[in-house]
């Protein structure tokens, strides 16, 4: 009796790092994303500029309009954190001081953090400026 070869089942492991979706046209957002990358390294956090072509196509639950209003963090389990909750999620992933990230969920702190985040996010271009937009040839446009 001849044995038939069986199909090997291959499972694709989900990404085991946080994905931070940031506004690449915002100076503050871009600088913060760079600092996160330096602090955590590429094995724990990946920062993605949602302004780049097709960047949001990998995250169908995050729309462009939603990303324009707040930072989004996608956890390895697929859960999406938005705004101040996204910051708290990133802080929670830190070793020793990660416990501080849980303080966000205390009633008064959560409301104050959400209000402060919304104010800063809404006014980020006015407060921190926009990145200059340059074409591939290196010529920047004045707006």
First to last CA, the chain: 76
pLDDT tens digit sequence for 67-115: 999 999 999 999 999 999 999 999 998 878 888 899 999 999 999 999 9
In DSSP terms, 21 is beta-bridged to 48, 72
pTM over 0.85, yes/no: no
Contact yes or no for 32/20 (Cβ under 8 A): no
Helix count and strand count (H, E) for the chain:
5, 4
Q: What is the pLDDT of residues 17-62, one digit of tens each?
A: 899 999 999 999 999 999 988 888 778 899 999 999 999 999 999 9
| Cα R_g (the chain), whole angstroms | 19
């Amino acid at each position: 009796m001849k044995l038939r070869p069986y199909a090997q089942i291959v499972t694709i492991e989900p990404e085991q790092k946080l994905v931070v979706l940031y506004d690449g046209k915002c100076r503050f957002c871009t600088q913060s994303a760079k600092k996160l990358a330096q602090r955590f390294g590429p094995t724990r956090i990946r920062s993605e500029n949602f302004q780049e072509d097709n960047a949001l196509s990998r995250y169908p639950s995050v729309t462009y309009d939603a990303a324009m209003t707040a930072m989004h963090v996608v956890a390895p389990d697929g859960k999406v954190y938005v705004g101040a909750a996204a910051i708290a999620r990133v802080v929670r992933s830190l070793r020793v001081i990660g416990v501080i990230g849980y303080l966000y969920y205390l009633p008064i702190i959560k409301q104050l953090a959400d209000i402060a985040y919304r104010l800063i996010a809404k006014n980020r271009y006015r407060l921190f400026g926009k990145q200059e937009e340059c074409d591939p040839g290196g010529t920047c446009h004045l707006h």
